[in-house]
Amino acid sequence: MDLFAAVQEDVVLSPGETGLIPTGYSIELPEGYEAQVRPRSGLAVKHQIGILNSPGTIDSDYRGEIKVILTNFGKEPYTVRRGDRIAQMVVQRYARVDWEEVGTLATTPRGAGGFGHTGFSSLKGDK
């Protein structure tokens, strides 16, 4: 779902500036669910506006207003106006796990291989 700005007055984000933008929404999620606040691709490509802690997580016990941490990564000021679509929100189920400390982990073909080790590598000199 889209999240809209519920600012009372226009908010101007200067280049490199971050602002906490209210949405006017509060939600009550069931236990075992979370909401993730994600950037909008149009704002990112057209204005270099993103979300600093993307994705932002809303826990099921949070009851306050949803606010979006918008950052201007661009070179020009950006104005947020009331009603602007500023982010997207996805609700999904999550699983709680019980961690068990072990001395070794099972082996896999990938092992500890990092970036580029899943079949394609674009890193120079990476095999």
CA dihedral 71, 74, 78, 80 (to 10 degrees): -30
Query: What pLDDT, in 10s, does the model give residues 85-101?
Result: 999 999 999 998 999 99
**37-46, 48-57, 78-87, 117-126: which has the minimum mean pLDDT?**
117-126
Residue 22 lies in a domain: yes
Single pTM value for the model: 0.79
- Assign residue 52 the CATH number of its domain: 2.70.40.10
Residue 69 lies in a domain: yes
Residue 76 lies in a domain: yes
Q: Are 3 and 70 in contact (CB under 8 A)?
A: no
Residue 108 lies in a domain: no
> What secondary structure letter does DSSP report for 11?
E
Residue 73 lies in a domain: yes
Question: Domains in the chain: how many in total?
Answer: 1
What are 78's two structure tokens? 């950006």
DSSP track, 110-125: STT--TT-SS---STT
Residue 48 lies in a domain: yes
State CA 97 to chain mean position distance.
23
